[in-house]
Every structure is written in C-alpha cells, then in structure tokens.
Structure 1
Amino acid sequence: MFRSRSKDGQASTTQVDDAEPQPRDPQAPKGRPTPKRSEAQNQRRSLAKAPASRRDAAKRTREARRTAMARQREALASGDERYLPARDKGPVRRFTRDFVDAKWSVAEFFLPIAVVILALSLVPSLQVKNISLLLWLGVIVMIVLDSISTSVRLKKALRERFPDESRKGAVAYALMRTLQMRRMRLPKPQVARGELP
C-alpha cells in the first residue's frame, strides 16, 4: 500500500495488486519445445503416483537417469543443443567446435604417429631408435606450434563474433578437441573440412 499526498493535503491510498498474474501472450514463444504426447503422458503418470518404497524410488531414478543419458548420447551424435552436456552448450562452444572441425590439425594424428614411432623404437638398430626420437621431437614441436596458431586465430575469431558473451574456457575446449581424431569427436562434427563456421 502506497500513500501519496494530493494538492489539498489529504492522503490518498493506492493499492498494488500482485496476486493477479498477467496473462501470457498466446503468440509469444514459451522458451522450451513442446513435449511429445507420449512423453507428456508418461511424465504425468509418473508424477501422479508416488513411489511405494525406496526400491521403487531408486528404480524410477535409474530409469530417469537412463533416459537422460540416452537423450544425451543422441544429442552428442546429432548436435542437438537442447540435450548436450553443459560443457558443450551455447553458441560460443558451437562456434569453437566448428572452427576446430573445419581445419586439419597435427594433434589429431598424434595417436597414429605415436604408434608408428613406438614401433620404430622397438627395432634393435641404434639408427632407427635415433630417428624415432627425432620424430618424437618433431611431432611435439609441430603440435605446440599448431596449438599456438589455433589459439591465436580462435581468440581473434571469438572476439569478433561474440564480443559480449563469456568466452571462458573456449580455447582449452578447442585444444582438447584437436587432440581427438575427427571421427571420434563428440559432439560429432557438423561442418566439412575447409567449410567456414
């Protein structure tokens, strides 16, 4: 209740009614996707009856976790933003993934090269072992230089594209993604090589 003085000095009262919510505009988006009928019915049924025992509650929790994990696996394969893990969500992370997936990097070939170098180091010849050590050094130097180049270019692209959004952790996320072979990356790459994100 607020009081205000009128010109003649008398106090008038004004009531603010917060109990009545404003009606939602039917044309405005609700901010979430409409669930399928079967999902909505299952959810209503599960909420309608409380678990009878701890065993039922644990079973229901396991089922919910299992469906959430299945949904998350599908999202990692398809790139569906709604069900991705928190570390992969958002436009900054999406751009970072596309930036990494669009180019070749030395780090993604680290595992195959490491297997070849280890095989060479098992050969009893001293010259072959020296060559394998030089290859190790060369691969590590190339990965470091490629990572520095990727970091600088990604930071610049993120500053230009997302000046007002939080870019914290995006470069580390990109470098971890470069260490994975392309076909083993999750979420799956959504852009082709050479395609600008």
Structure 2
Amino acid sequence: MKLFNKRDAAQDTPEPAPPAKVGGKGRATPKRKEAEARRLHPVVPTDRKAAKAEARARRDEAWRLQDEAMRTGNERYLPPRDKGPVRRYVRDYVDARYSVGELFLPLSIALMIIVFGFSSTGSSGLSLMLLLGLYAVFFLAILDAIVCWWLVRRRLYAKFGVEEVKAQGVLFWYVFSRCFNLRRLRRPSPQVRRRQYPS
C-alpha cells in the first residue's frame, strides 16, 4: 500500500484553468513611456513662419467677425462686455430715446471755439457766460443719464428679474457711456429706430 503525502497529492490534481476574460479592449495596454511619447509635441513649431501666419490669420478673422458683430448686433461674436439679452435691452432702450449727452460733445467743441474766439477779442463776460452754459449742459446730461438709468432699471427688473439684472454687474456705467456717445458712433451700432422702445 502506497501512501501519498500532501506534495504528491498537489502534483497529481490538475490546476483549474483561469477564467476567460470577457469584454476586453482587444489590444494591449501601452507602456507609460509610449503613452507619454505619443502626447508630446514640440513647444516651438518646426515652421515658425507658417505658424505665425496661421496665428495672424486666426486673429484677423476674429477681429473681422467681432467688427461685423458690432455693426449687425450678432450676439455670437460680440465681446463679453456687450453680450446677453440684458445688455441688448439696455442698448435698445438708450438708442430709442433722445439723450442730452449726445449733444454735449459737439456742443462743447463749438462752445470752446467760440470762447477762445471771444477771449482773444477781450469779451471776457460773454466767454464766461458761454463756459457756464457748457457746464450747465454737462450737468443736465448727467441728470438725463441718471433718469435714463432709473427708467431702464425698472423695465429690466420687470422683464428679467432682479437677480438676473444684478448678476450682470454695474450697468449704470454702461448706460452712462452710451448716453454720452453720439448715436452714429455707438458700438455696437444701434439696431432700433428713434422711439422704437424694446418691449
């Protein structure tokens, strides 16, 4: 009678086959060095002239699209300062009304020319009156811009809600700068006619 020890028993029993892998990716996992080498690309392009020309072409195209958007009001290519329905509403409202600030720039240039003309002739009283008139127009334009902001803010709160309007930041300076600019020089260009207020 032959006795088997544990080692012989372990050698005689066949080892179970490893379970077949289901749903593999079908390719070997790349080594870390290979993966890193694949991701590497030169920091400096090989053809600098071509890369420079390509970057300039991209920049020129971006400027062209933005300039066109400034004329047409296309929201997609407007700068972040002018994007969004709230700012579009502000622009349309300011462009629909007559602002005293529109007259300030041409009037100030004309009055300054007149003041310098009268100061050379010795009419200091008249030039002082004209200068005071210019200051009066300036303060009236500021008051008009404040009234415009107050009116447009009420409309914005009613249309978009207080939270969305406050999320846009300080819109007063946006209204103020547009009120003091000549209508034809405003950017983005006005998209509404006079008295055509947004709903």
Give the TM-score, by structure 2 length. Answer: 0.70
Task: Tell me the residue number matched to 1:191.
Answer: 192
- Residue 168 of structure 2 aligns to a residue in which SS? coil
Q: Where does structure 2 lack aligned partners over 5 or more consecutive residues?
A: 1-44
Query: What is residue 125 of structure 2 aligned with on the other side?
Result: 127
**Of 66, 70, 75, which aligns to 1:72?**
66
Structure 1: gaps spanning 5 or more residues: 1-50
> How many pairs are equivalent?
148
Query: How big is the alpha-carbon RMSD for the aligned residues of Structure 1 and Structure 2?
Result: 1.6
Indicate the residue corresponding to 2:107 in structure 1: 113
In structure 2, distance between residues paired with 1:141 and 1:72: 34
- TM-superposed deviation, 1:193: 0.7
**Cα distance in 1, alignment partners of residues 63 and 77 from structure 2:** 9
| Higher RCO structure, 1 or 2 (CA under 8 Å, sep 6+) | 2
The answer on whether the counterparts of 2:145 and 2:175 sit within 8 Å (CA) in structure 1 is no
Q: Is the contact made by 1:154 and 1:171 (CA closer than 8 Å) also made in structure 2?
A: no
3-state DSSP of counterpart to 2:190: coil
Q: Spell out, residue by residue over 1:66-112, the C-alpha distance to the aligned partner (whole angstroms, 9 max, x if none).
A: 01100111111111111111111100110010010010001111111
TM-score (norm: length of structure 1)? 0.71
| Contact kept in structure 1, 2:71 and 2:187, CA below 8 Å | yes
Match status 1:88 vs 2:82: yes
Structure showing greater radius of gyration is 2
Return the alpha-carbon distance in structure 2 between the equivalents of residues 194 and 106 of structure 1: 15
Query: Identity percentage over the alignment?
Result: 37
* More helix, by proportion: 2
Contact 1:120–1:128, Cα closer than 8 Å, also in 2: no
**Aligned with residue 141 of structure 2, among 137, 140, 143:** 143
Structure 2 CA distance for aligned equivalents of residues 144 and 77 of structure 1: 27
Give the distance between the partners of 2:46 and 2:107, measured in 1 at CA: 57
| Regions of 4+ moved over 2 Å | none
Greater strand content: 1
Q: CA deviation at 1:116?
A: 1.6
Higher mean alpha-carbon deviation, 165-174 vs 56-65, is at: 165-174
Partner of 2:153: 155
* 3-state SS, counterpart of residue 191 of structure 1: coil
